[in-house]
Amino acid sequence: MTDLLLGPFSLRDPARARGLASLLQRYAPKDPVRIVHVCGTHEMAIAQHGLRSLLPRGVEVLEGPGCPVCVTPTGDLDRAVKLAERGAIVCTFGDMTRVPGTRVTLAEARAHGADVRVVLSPAEAVEVARANPERDVVFFAVGFETTAPGTAAVLLDSPPANFYVLSSHRLIPPALVALLAGPPVPIAGFLAPGHVSTVIGARAYRVIAERYHVPVVVAGFEPLDILYAIALLLRQVREERAEVENAYPRAVSEEGNLRAQELLATAFAPSDAVWRGIGRLPGAGLSIRDELARHDARRAFSVRVEEGEEKAPGCLCSEVLLARAVPTDCPLFGDPCTPLSPVGPCMVGVEGACNVWYRYGERPEL
């Protein structure tokens, strides 16, 4: 049985899944534990395969602030809307156009005549800038360490003078620390996001294990990857260890992608940043370095926006992002808040916990 801990082989094999499920029962904790992951892809895999129904009683797995679209603050959205209304072409990823700022969404601004375009990559936004030399083109950049190197690469590749980046990039490790440092929610362990970890490496989480004595397991995205990683976490909890374990070695190394890290460090500097629903977190954002200031939309255009937080009454998004509540705890979930008419950002982003739970029929009672 313990040979299952050698790693997953056939990643959706039902027999192996049953084996891991009974192994999970063996590591079932005596007291209830809360495990937090911070990745929309993890949440989709967990929901799509019904993995929560395989966990031992008392083990909860929650998505924290794992959806970049959801944590982008209203101030940045308002800034993007204002730039678009002033005549700039604003390029961004599809979901971002549907997230409400304090007044409107980018899609609504577009309906009123603003030039807002959906792109699939930062390079596509650069192409828009080259094709429209007489216009200012702003790439509204969101995402974690996974997408930020792409933005860094275009910033460092001599983009045209009319190309600007509005950086709303965020960093994962400082957010994990913030979840631990916040008001007491006992977090027994973290499932670290596989994609982000390919860039920053497993070593980036050592601070969590060493300073805060909370175990971290880097997890892949197939059902068995996730069950396996949860088994490793529960074993650490049971054995009262707090280490960083890599359950996704086929993609993630100890040191990560050094070239991507170098790009990030050359184009950006870590800075304090507001996370929607959570607040200002030290060192958890990426600002464009002074050498590239001429491409920084924040410095190139003076736009006044409120940094305050707008929240719909009754919406539990903040609690969901802080891993203190699950979507079905929210009184608005499903009625009136649905992916077609979202109230809070967790229902807008396809990686948001509420959106995923709604689409995949995830319910704790199953």
Residues engaged in binding another protein (CB under 8 A)? 12, 14, 17-18, 21, 47-54, 223-224, 227, 338-340, 358-363, 366
Pick between residue 40 and residue 173 the one whose CB is nearest to another protein: 40
* Cα angle 248, 250, 253; round to 5: 75
CB of 162 to another protein, least distance (A): 27
CA-based nearest residue to 112, from 79, 86, 135, 91: 86
Calpha distance 148→93 (Å, rounded): 13
Q: How far apart are CA 265 and CA 254, in angstroms?
A: 18
Q: Which is nearer to another protein, 271 or 338 (CB)?
A: 338
Closest to another protein by CB, 73 vs 143, is 143
Phi-psi region of 220 (alpha: psi -120 to 50; beta: other; left: phi over 0): beta
Q: Quick one: 51 or 229, whose CB is closer to another protein?
A: 51
Nearer to another protein, 13 or 243 (CB): 13
| Beta pairing partners, 289 | none
50 is written with which tokens?
């019904």
In the complex, minimum distance from the CB of residue 10 to another protein, in angstroms, rounded to a whole number = 11
Q: How far is the CB of 59 from another protein (least distance, A)?
A: 14
The minimum distance between CB 128 and another protein, in angstroms, equals: 18
Q: How far is the CB of 222 from another protein (least distance, A)?
A: 9
CB of 186 or CB of 364, closer to another protein: 364
Q: What's the closest the beta carbon of residue 221 comes to another protein, in angstroms?
A: 11
Residue 133 CB neighbours (<10 A): 10
Closest CA to 182 of 321, 73, 306, 42: 321
Tell me if residue 152 falls in helix, strand or coil.
helix
User: DSSP secondary-structure letter at 213?
Assistant: -
